[in-house]
Amino acid sequence: MVEAVCAQIIPEDQDAGAAKAGVVHFMDTQLTRFYKPLQKTYRRGIAQIDQASIDFAGKPFADLASAQQVAVLHHIETHAELRPFFDLLVAHTMQGFYGDPRHGGNRDRVSWKMVGLPYPPLRGRLRYDFADPKKGELPWR
């Protein structure tokens, strides 16, 4: 169900969406680490979204057609009791999609490729060549 919601938050078009970027893997990984205090929130929120989907469209969220899923998410956005978890899910989807792949999402750096961001080297792991080839010196000297 979470993957279906994430796929609607960042759908696939000419570029990869949340599903191909491994956003759910990012969330699963983080729920055992940094997001561990949010495990109960996720369990409760997932159940609430599925219940809202059943009440609104007659089926669990993952079983709905794409257009129905979008309608359910618009419905959820307008209900105060469901909105906080949905906002959290949107934030975590964005983090998993645009974040550093070493945290479990952004598989194959798909979002960085989409926006034209070169792979940023991690500080201390790659050496930079700051030498000015014309002068044969470093720019800060």
Tens digits of per-residue pLDDT, 107-120?
999 999 998 887 76
Phi first, then psi: give them for residue 136, nearest 5 degrees: 70, 25
Of 57, 36, 47, 52, which Cα lies nearest the Cα of 2? 47
Q: Structure pTM? A: 0.82
pLDDT one-digit tens code per residue, 19-67: 999 999 999 999 999 999 999 999 999 999 999 999 999 999 999 999 9
Mean pLDDT of the chain: 88
Calculate mean pLDDT across residues 85-109. Answer: 95
26/104 Cα distance (integer angstroms): 4
Q: How many residues does the chain have?
A: 141
C-alpha–C-alpha distance, residues 63 and 3, integer Å: 12
Token reading at 72: 């359910």
Find the mean pLDDT for residues 81-98: 95
3-state secondary structure string, 11-49?
CCCCCCCHHHHCHHHHHHHHHCCCCHHHHHHHHHHHHHH
- Per domain, the residue ranges of the chain are 2-115
